[in-house]
């Protein structure tokens, strides 16, 4: 069922919300072939680009959780959420954008790092951003960084002058924050 108040609501709002926004959804879907296609079809049929999509296991073997980040107007997103939750094999859809939640992404970045000042520069950035070195050769290094998407954006931006030869980003995963302190704002 859809969380947030969608039905049994006493709203008097007639106006559709047409401004485009970034939206993050988590969808608990059965771990079965084809179900992901069904969900993605809801986006592609409306010409909605899926910016990132991840899916992974949950504690229950039959269920997976899919996190989708997309861009669009609020009215259409609401439509998509409702039609998604109507799917037989979808257990729950959460529009986490407006709820207190944590969103993280991971990136693997291959950067030029010849021995000497170049490598040193890379290493100082690695230290600043608390990243990890996962591969190294005479003239390149592969770095692993995880965190909020904005943090990764900045990290990549800082590495650009050194020469990035390859980047793979994972897409976001999201989780609702711990219940008891959800009224407090924080950034980790």
Partner 1 sequence: MRDVVERNVEYPNVDDLMKTAKAEHLKIKAEPVKIRGAEIIVRSLIKNGVDKIFGYPGGAVLHIYDELWRFREQITHYLVRHEQGATHAAEGYARVTGKVGVVLVTSGPGATNAVTGIATAYMDSIPLVVITGQVPSTVIGTDAFQEVDTFGITLPIVKHSYLVKDVTKLEAIIDEAFQIAQSGKPGPVVIDIPKDVTAHLAEFSGEKTQFYSIGKENTLDAELLDAAIQKLLAAKKPVLYVGGGVVTADAADELMEVSELLQIPVHADSYGIRRFPVGTRQLYGNARNARDLYIEYGGFRKRSPFCRRGSL
Partner 2 sequence: MAVSESDLLFAVGVRFDDRVTGKLATFAPHAEVIHIDISPSNIGKIRKANISLLSDAKTALKAIADKLKLRSKSDLTASIKARESWWKEIRAWQKSVPMVCENSETEIKPQQVIEELYRVTKGDAVIVTDVGQHQMWAAQFYPFKRSRQWVTSGGLGTMGFGLPAALGAQLALPNTQVVAVVGDGGFQMTNQEITTAIQYNIPLKVIIMNNGYLGMVRQWQEMFYQRAYSEVDLSVSPDFVKLAEAHGAQGLRAKTPAELKDVLEKGLSYQGATIMDIVVSKEENVFPIIPAGGNTRDMILK
Contact residues toward partner 1 (CB under 8 A) are: 8, 10, 33-34, 37-38, 41, 45, 87-89
Select the binding partner of residue 6 from partner 2, partner 1, none (C-beta < 5 to 8 A, by kind): partner 2
Contacting residue, 7, 34, 127, 179, with partner 2 by CB under 8 A:
7
User: Of 95 and 141, which has the nearer Cβ to partner 2?
Assistant: 95
Select the binding partner of residue 82 from partner 1, partner 2, none (C-beta < 5 to 8 A, by kind): partner 2
* Packing angle of the helix pair 35-44, 74-86 (nearest 10 deg): 160
For residue 1, the minimal CB distance to partner 2 (Å) is 7
For residue 14, the minimal CB distance to partner 1 (Å) is 16
Select the binding partner of residue 58 from partner 2, partner 1, none (C-beta < 5 to 8 A, by kind): none
For residue 8, the minimal CB distance to partner 1 (Å) is 6
Cα separation, 76 vs 2, whole angstroms: 15
Contacting residue, 22, 57, 86, 98, with partner 2 by CB under 8 A:
86
Q: Which residue has the tokens 């899919």?
A: 66
Contact call for residues 52 and 171 (beta carbons, < 8 A): yes
Q: Which residue has the tokens 């988590």?
A: 26
Interface with partner 2 includes 127 (CB under 8 A)?
Answer: no
**Stretch 49-78 residues interacting with partner 2 (CB under 8 A):** 78
Residues across the chain: 188
Phi first, then psi: give them for residue 95, nearest 5 degrees.
-90, 95
User: Of 86 and 130, which has the nearer Cβ to partner 2?
Assistant: 86
- Token representation of residue 54: 């991840």
For residue 90, the minimal CB distance to partner 1 (Å) is 11
Give the strand order in the sheet containing 63-73. Answer: 50-57, 63-73, 20-30, 90-95
Interface with partner 2 includes 2 (CB under 8 A)?
Answer: yes
Q: CB count, 10 Å around CB of 118?
A: 16
**159 CB-near residues (< 8 Å, 6+ apart):** 109, 111, 122, 125, 143
Q: 4, 5, 174, 12: which is closest to 101 by C-alpha?
A: 174
Binding site for partner 2 (CB under 8 A): 1-2, 6-14, 78-79, 82-83, 85-86
């Amino acid at each position: 069922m859809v969380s947030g108040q969608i039905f049994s609501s006493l709203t008097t709002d007639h106006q559709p919300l047409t401004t485009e926004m970034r939206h993050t959804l988590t969808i608990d879907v059965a771990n079965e072939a084809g179900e992901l296609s069904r969900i993605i079809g809801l986006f592609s049929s409306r010409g909605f680009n899926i910016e990132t999509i991840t899916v992974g296991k949950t504690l229950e073997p039959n269920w997976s959780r899919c996190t989708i980040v997309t861009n669009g107007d609020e009215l259409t997103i609401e439509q998509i959420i409702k039609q998604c939750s109507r799917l037989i094999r979808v257990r729950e859809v959460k529009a986490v954008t407006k709820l207190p939640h944590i969103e993280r992404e991971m990136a693997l970045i291959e950067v030029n790092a010849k021995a000497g000042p170049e490598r040193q520069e890379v290493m100082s950035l690695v230290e600043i951003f608390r990243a990890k070195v996962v591969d190294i050769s005479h003239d390149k290094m592969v770095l692993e960084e995880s965190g909020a998407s904005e943090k990764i954006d900045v990290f990549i931006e800082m590495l650009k002058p050194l020469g990035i030869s390859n980047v793979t980003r994972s897409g976001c995963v999201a989780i609702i924050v711990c219940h008891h302190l959800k009224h407090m704002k924080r950034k980790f």
